[in-house]
């Protein structure tokens, strides 16, 4: 086949042979020597021509198939299936849930990367098994691995990492790893990685300190923290809330949700995390004919355009900075650990 004269396998190179095959095929596509739907040598033919083991060629072809650069047709052989994107940065982006906040980070990340990249989004639903299977399947197919680590235990508690997840992540090349939204426990991950994180406990504590003057006019501060959510939240949010209340001698309570028959009292200030609880709370306040921001206060976790429109006070991570910073560090090949700004935005509901 014509391809054979273009393939270069360097016996003295430290680059693994399977990677040399991948590189050669990609370079030949970029150079125009291979085109869409063009047939390439079989695994046996390739191994015989270059005196390589069949396993080596099979591994290379497997990775090329995972990246959709080649395809196999039963009984006919292997063909080039993609001539676009292969010269771009290929990124896999793992997100624990498809919330508006996660999508906002992802979209800012994509926009900041520009045209010279291709990113595949995978959702693992806080499930360790799903995540590990996705990672194992794709661990050789991408230039960068962007991971937002949030997992749930058997009793639906939140953990940033499980032992198995940490072990799997440690096996990835550190220069290819970007951790978003959380920080890794030290010293499990080496320093030559990228971490762009929230500090959940200190973020809520410091945000509440900024609003303490308005908060102190209320008689009781109530955090709605979902204990058994499908997508559990970091318990560090609750720890930061408790610390603020204790240090400022504020009467507080932690509930798992807004109940339909909940008793509201004038002077209550609620902090909601989930959108459903915010909606139910606003309904209950209106049903009891209280005035939001005067009789009953509301602070919500993470900002949205609708909360801004409704005048809801928020404590919010800057998801724009999170996504853009991750993209910038990939493009500039930077390493380091960066905390994302967490803002207290006062509106009419306080």
pLDDT on residue 237 = 96
pTM to 2 decimals? 0.78
**Backbone conformation region of residue 94, classed left if phi is above 0, alpha if psi is from -120 to 50, else beta:** beta
d(CA 252, CA 269): 9
Question: How far, CA to CA in Å, does 38 sit from each of 43, 59, 141, 224?
Answer: 15, 20, 22, 59
Q: Supply angle C-alpha 150, 156, 160, rounded to 5.
A: 20
- β-strands 77-80, 70-73 pairing: antiparallel
Q: Supply angle C-alpha 342, 346, 350, rounded to 5.
A: 125
The pair of structure tokens assigned to 209 is: 């300190």
Task: Give me the tens of pLDDT residue by residue for the chain, a chain 350 residues long.
Answer: 667 777 888 888 878 899 889 888 887 887 778 888 888 989 999 999 899 999 999 999 998 888 788 888 888 899 988 666 555 788 999 999 988 889 999 999 999 998 778 888 999 999 999 999 999 888 877 889 999 999 998 888 899 999 999 999 988 888 899 999 988 876 656 667 899 999 999 999 999 999 999 999 999 999 999 987 889 999 999 999 999 999 999 999 999 999 988 999 999 999 999 999 999 999 999 999 999 999 999 999 999 889 999 999 999 999 999 999 999 999 998 989 999 999 999 999 99
Question: With contact defined as beta carbons under 8 Å apart, do 272 and 281 qualify?
Answer: yes
Question: How far, CA to CA in Å, does 321 sit from each of 96, 99, 197, 272, 340?
Answer: 19, 17, 11, 23, 7
pLDDT on residue 69 = 85
Q: pLDDT for 49-105, tens place per residue?
A: 899 999 999 999 998 888 788 888 888 899 988 666 555 788 999 999 988 889 999
Contacts for 271 with CB less than 8 Å, ≥ 6 apart? 221, 222, 223, 224, 241, 299, 300, 301, 315
What SS3 string covers the chain? CHHHHCCCCCCCCCCCHHHHHHHHHHHHHHCCCCCCCCEECCHHHHHHHCCCCHHHHHHHHHHHHHCCCEEEECCCEEEECCCCCCCCEEEEEEECCCCHHHHHHHHHHHHHHCCCEEEEEEECCCCHHHHHHHHHHHCCCCCEEEECCCEECCCCCEECCCHHHHHHHHCCCHHHEEEEECCCCCCCCCCCCEEEECCHHHHHHHHHHHCHHHHCCCCEEEEECCCCCCCCCCCHHHHHHHHHHHHCCCCEEEECCCCCCCCCCCCEEEEECCHHHHHHHHHHHHHCCCCECCCEEEEEECCCHHHHHHCCEEEEECHHHHHHHHHHHHHCCCCEEEECCEEEECCCCC
pLDDT on residue 86 = 57
Contacts for 217 with CB less than 8 Å, ≥ 6 apart? none
Question: How far, CA to CA in Å, does 226 sit from each of 94, 232, 268?
Answer: 23, 7, 19
Question: With contact defined as beta carbons under 8 Å apart, do 144 and 89 qualify?
Answer: yes
Query: Bridge partners of 343?
Result: 316
pLDDT on residue 244 = 97
């Amino acid at each position: 086949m014509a391809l054979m004269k273009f393939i270069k396998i360097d016996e003295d190179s430290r680059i693994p042979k399977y990677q040399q095959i991948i590189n050669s095929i990609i370079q030949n596509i970029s150079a125009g020597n291979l085109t869409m739907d063009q047939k390439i040598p079989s695994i046996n033919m390739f191994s015989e021509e270059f005196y390589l083991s069949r396993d080596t060629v099979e591994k290379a072809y497997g990775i090329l198939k995972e990246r959709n650069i080649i395809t196999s047709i039963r009984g006919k052989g292997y063909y080039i299936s993609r001539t676009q994107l292969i010269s771009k940065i290929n990124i896999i982006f793992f997100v624990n849930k498809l919330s508006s906040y996660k999508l906002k980070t992802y979209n800012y990340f994509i926009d900041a990367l520009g045209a010279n990249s291709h990113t595949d989004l995978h959702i693992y639903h806080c499930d360790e098994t799903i995540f590990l299977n996705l990672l194992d399947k794709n661990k050789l197919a991408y230039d960068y691995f962007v991971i937002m680590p949030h997992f749930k235990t058997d009793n639906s508690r939140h953990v940033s990492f499980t032992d198995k997840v940490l072990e799997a992540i440690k096996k990835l090349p550190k220069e290819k790893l970007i951790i978003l939204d959380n920080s890794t426990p030290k010293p499990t991950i080496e320093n030559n990685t990228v971490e762009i994180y929230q500090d959940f406990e200190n973020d809520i504590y410091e945000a509440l300190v900024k609003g303490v003057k308005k908060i102190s006019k209320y008689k009781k501060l109530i955090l709605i923290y979902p204990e058994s959510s499908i997508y559990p939240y970091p318990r560090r949010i609750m720890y930061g809330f408790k610390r603020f209340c204790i240090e400022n001698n504020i009467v507080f309570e932690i509930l798992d949700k807004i109940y339909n028959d909940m008793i509201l009292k004038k002077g209550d200030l609620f902090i909601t995390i989930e959108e459903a609880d915010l909606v139910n709370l606003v309904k209950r306040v209106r049903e009891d004919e209280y005035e939001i921001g005067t009789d009953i206060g509301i602070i919500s976790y993470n900002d949205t355009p609708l909360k801004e429109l409704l005048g809801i006070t928020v404590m919010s991570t800057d998801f724009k900075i999170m996504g853009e910073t991750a993209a910038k560090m990939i493009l500039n090949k930077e390493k380091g650990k960066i905390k994302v700004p967490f803002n207290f935005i006062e509106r009419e509901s306080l």
